[in-house]
A and B are shown apart, each in its own frame.
Chain A
Amino acid sequence: MIEIKNLHKSYEIGASSLHVLKGIDFSVEDGDLVAIMGSSGSGKSTLLNILGMLDTSDTGTYDLDKIRIADMDEKKAANYRNKFLGFVFQSFNLINYKNALENVALPLYYQGVSRKERQKTALNFLDKVGLKDWADHLPSELSGGQKQRVAIARALASNPKVLLADEPTGALDSKTSLEVMALIQKINNEGKTILVVTHEHDIAKMCKRIVHLKDGVIVEDKKIKQNVIKNV
């Protein structure tokens, strides 16, 4: 599903340049659930953003579902993000003046799906994350866990090939984190490829594979026995 080779990325800060990713080789199979770990500043988010086409690499190749992602104009990149990728952020990134349903329906709007269809699909996904009854609530009326579940529903609504989550539980307490991870496991079990950036070992262990980043390179990449969440 994902295939990257010799990926480099530097940030220009004034006159100097910060080399963040120093040659990443990495691939992800269909249906995998990968945790990306590493200390703060190791480049986890940078990698995920490049995978999510929110940012670009300096050198190296990136194939997403056998399509070479290179030198795309913004319009094409937007279409790829829309069709292939779903995002979940630590800070939720819901649009504050739209209610839960409208937030979930937004990617479908950019897919050109009809209004009725959008509402129906969005409601389905809200139901899937257990928030059907909260459809007309604004983000400000939802708890952190609920917001993140709305965000996950939104990421899933466009039926992407890959779900990318940057510290999805970073702003949540441990119980709520567990709920969110249970949801992620459920989605993964349905066949979706998922990458989760996290600091926490507990969270990482709920995935099927852990990739360890350090100083811009992968220092460890191992399959693990998944800690399946039973009942929350």
Chain B
Amino acid sequence: MNSLKKIFDRDTWDEIFESISKNRTRTIITSIGVFWGIFIYIALAGSATGLENGFDDAFSGLSKNSMGVWVQRTSIPYKGFEEGRYPVFKLNDVDYLKNRVPEIQYIAPGLQAGAFSGSPPLVVRGLKSDNFNVFGNFPVYAKISVINIFDGGRYINDDDIKYERKVAVIGEGTQERLFNVGEDPIGKYIRINDVNFMVVGVTKFTEGSGFGSDSDITIPYTTFAKIYNRGDQFGFMFISGYEYVNPNYLEETVLSTLKVMKTVSPEDDRAFGTFNIGSLFESIIKFTRGMVFLSLVVGIATIFAGVIGIGNIMLIAVKERTNELGIRRALGATPGEVKVQIVLESVFLTIVAGIIGITVGAFLLFVINIGTSGLEDFPFTNPTVPLTIVFGAFITMITLGTLIGLIPAERAVSIKPIEALREE
């Protein structure tokens, strides 16, 4: 009988099941290697995906190609200007910059008290008071940084800007420190540096969503400029590019344009300060990609080790079974039949152990997912392993299982039957 046909022969499988079920220790030890390999692989790959999704979620509050730029001191004399000069942004620079750099989608000029300039002003509400950073912003700011307002409130709007209204949007933390528990702050007044502002909204704080803390106060830009006497000057702007724009390119272009606009030497790296969410985000993406890659490498290495383990044990088993295989050959088993049996045993064990490994690994991910879904500041969401990867791992296992099974199989038939029989 053709030995390859034996693969589909029920008797062949009966022989295999008999051999693996009646040599239980050998079977279990053999399977553990592959089980462990695939289990680690699935767990790692899934966790990496979970982390990636988690970071994605954490950063969803922010336009990924946004940046901030602010003025500092020049460090190189240029075109008759001495070094140590403070460039200033003016409101009409905003449209000018936007026209010069067509990749820009939004620009939000900002003023602040506390944070980067001076000490945070004292804010009083009834008997409670504390110091908070106060920002003067345009409504467009909400288009760059996603601002989540609790129900019932709103962000700064165009009319606030136009009429220089004394309204304020406060953070969750600000509310906690200035208002009583359960008290609705909307419509209530707070005093910032002895000026009364009406609270119109409370922002939900999202981790990683940018620059502020949960204890900021935002008032209309124009109101801020008037109270603090800033005229049309400001020191900070928040810029976002269109979806397709590379954040690093945006940062470079904005900087070089500003240098021309403000007569700053192209070599002067100190005149403006910038940060770039994109590159921040990119490094985290790189980190999670690295994790995914690492898990792939480690996983495949473990699967490899597992399969090699199977091969080793099969080798030992074949040696142990030399006498048995000798008997079979004396009774008429052809080398092909012996080989098919050994290879199929190896492949079968690999597949079964692999399926168990995948199942247990998936179950573990499921448990981790449930366990972490309540945790806000643990970036871990939906740890899945792509089917293609599972499938790939499976194919790898079967291939390796076959190849590795061939080694002991070859060995088993390479000696004369009488030599095999002589072995005890």
B18 touches A78 (CB 8 A): no
- Encoded as 1 (CB less than 8 Å from any B CB) or 0, chain A from 43 to 63 comes to 000000100101110000000
Ranked nearest first, the 5 interchain pairs of A and B with the lowest CB-CB distance are A82-B332, A97-B22, A110-B332, A54-B418, A78-B334
| A79: contacting residue among B19, B328, B334, CB under 8 A | B334
Give B405 Cβ to nearest chain A Cβ, in Å. 19
Known: A97-B23, A115-B11. A78 touches B421 (CB 8 A): no
Contact assessment for B332 and A78 in the assembled complex, using a CB-CB cutoff below 8 Å:
yes
B329 at the interface (CB under 8 A from A): yes
Expressed in whole angstroms, the minimum distance between the Cβ of A170 and any Cβ of chain B is 15
Write out, one digit per residue, whether chain B residues 129-143 have a CB within 8 A of any chain A CB (1) or not (0).
Answer: 000000000000000
The count of A-to-B residue pairs whose CB atoms sit within 8 angstroms is 72
Measured between alpha carbons, how far is A87 from B331 in the docked complex, in Å?
8
Q: 8 A–B contact pairs at CB < 8 A?
A: A78-B335, A93-B421, A95-B324, A97-B18, A97-B22, A110-B333, A154-B331, A158-B331
- Chain B residue contacts of A102, Cβ below 8 A: 18
Q: Which residues of B contact A95 (CB under 8 A)?
A: 324, 327-328
- Kindly state the separation between the CA atoms of A85 and B245 in the bound complex, as whole angstroms: 82
- Per-residue CB contact flags for chain B residues 15-33 toward chain A (1 = under 8 Å, else 0) read 1001100110000000000
> By the criterion CB–CB under 8 Å, are A52 and B413 in contact?
no
- Indicate if the CB atoms of B418 and A55 lie closer than 8 Å: yes
Measured CA separation A83–B417 after assembly (Å) = 16
Whole-angstrom CA separation of A55 from B336 in the bound complex: 19
Complex alpha-carbon distance, A79 and B334, angstroms: 7
Which chain A residues border B172 with CB–CB below 8 Å? Answer: none
A74 touches B335 (CB 8 A): yes
On chain A, the residues within 8 Å of B329 by CB distance are 78, 81
> Looking across the interface, which residue of chain A has its beta carbon closest to that of B22?
A97
When C-beta atoms are compared, the residue in chain A nearest to B6 turns out to be A112
Q: How long is the Cα–Cα vector from A158 to B335 in the complex, in angstroms?
A: 19
Contacts of B18 in A (CB 8 A): 97-98, 102
B310-342 with Cβ < 8 A to chain A: 323-324, 326-337
- B328 CB contacts on chain A under 8 angstroms: 95, 106, 110
Interface string of A76-107 (1 = CB under 8 A from B): 00110111000101000111111000100011
Q: Which listed residue (A54, A75, A111) contacts B421, Cβ 8 A? A: A54
Q: Which residue of A lies closest to B335 (CB)?
A: A74
Q: Residue on A with the closest CB to B15? A: A109
How far apart are B115's CB and chain A's nearest CB, in angstroms? 78
For A53, the closest partner residue in chain B by CB is: B417
B1 within 8 A of A: yes
Query: CA–CA, A138 to B101, complex, Å?
Result: 88
Closest to A55 in B: B418
Report the separation of the CA atoms of residues A157 and B132 in the bound assembly, to the nearest whole angstrom: 97
User: With an 8 A cutoff between CB atoms, is B79 at the interface?
Assistant: no
Whether A82 pairs with B1 at a CB distance below 8 angstroms is no
In whole Å, how far is B63's beta carbon from the nearest beta carbon of chain A? 68
Contact call A75/B334, Cβ cutoff below 8 A:
yes
Contacting pair A93 B333 (CB below 8 A): no
Which partner residue on chain B sits nearest A73 by CB separation?
B335
**Chain B residues within 8 Å of A52, by CB:** 330
Find out whether the CB atom of A54 lies under 8 angstroms from the CB atom of B417. yes
Q: Which residues of B contact A49 (CB under 8 A)?
A: 418
Q: Which residues of A contact B334 (CB under 8 A)?
A: 74-75, 78-79, 110
Q: Is the CB of A81 within 8 A of B416?
A: no
Q: Do B331 and A82 touch across chains, with their CB atoms under 8 A apart?
A: yes
Nearest opposing residue in chain B for A45, CB measure: B418
Does the CB pair B336–A109 fall under 8 Å? Answer: no
Structural contact, B324 and A79, CB atoms closer than 8 A: no
CB distance from B424 to the nearest CB of A (A): 8
12 more contacts with CB within 8 A, not counting A54-B418, A55-B416, are: A54-B330, A75-B336, A78-B334, A81-B329, A81-B417, A89-B421, A93-B323, A97-B22, A97-B23, A109-B11, A110-B331, A115-B11
Query: How many angstroms from the CA of A79 to the CA of B329 in the assembled complex?
Result: 10
Question: Contact flags (1/0) for B391-418 with A, using CB distance below 8 Å?
Answer: 0000000000000000000000100111
By beta carbon, the residue of chain A nearest B417 is A54
How many Å lie between the Cα of A82 and that of B417 in the bound state? 13
Q: Which of B59-90 contact A (CB under 8 A)?
A: none
Residue contact A81 to B330, C-beta cutoff 8 Å: yes
Q: Which residue of A lies closest to B3 (CB)?
A: A75
* Contact B331 A81, beta carbon cutoff 8 Å: yes
Between A52, A98, A110, A111, the greatest number of chain B beta carbons within 10 A of the residue's beta carbon is seen for: A110
Q: A75-B336, A98-B18, A112-B1 are in contact. Are A107 and B421 (CB under 8 A)?
A: no
Which of A54, A102, A112 is the most central at the interface, judged by chain B CB atoms within 10 Å of its CB?
A: A54
Check if B336 sits within 8 Å of A87, measured CB to CB: no
- Collect the chain A residues with CB atoms within 8 Å of residue B336's CB: 75
Q: Are A107 and B332 in contact (CB under 8 A)?
A: yes
Which residues of chain B from 207 to 222 have a CB within 8 Å of any chain A CB?
none
Shortest distance from the beta carbon of B8 to any chain A beta carbon, whole Å = 14
Residue pair B23, A158 in contact (C-beta under 8 Å): no
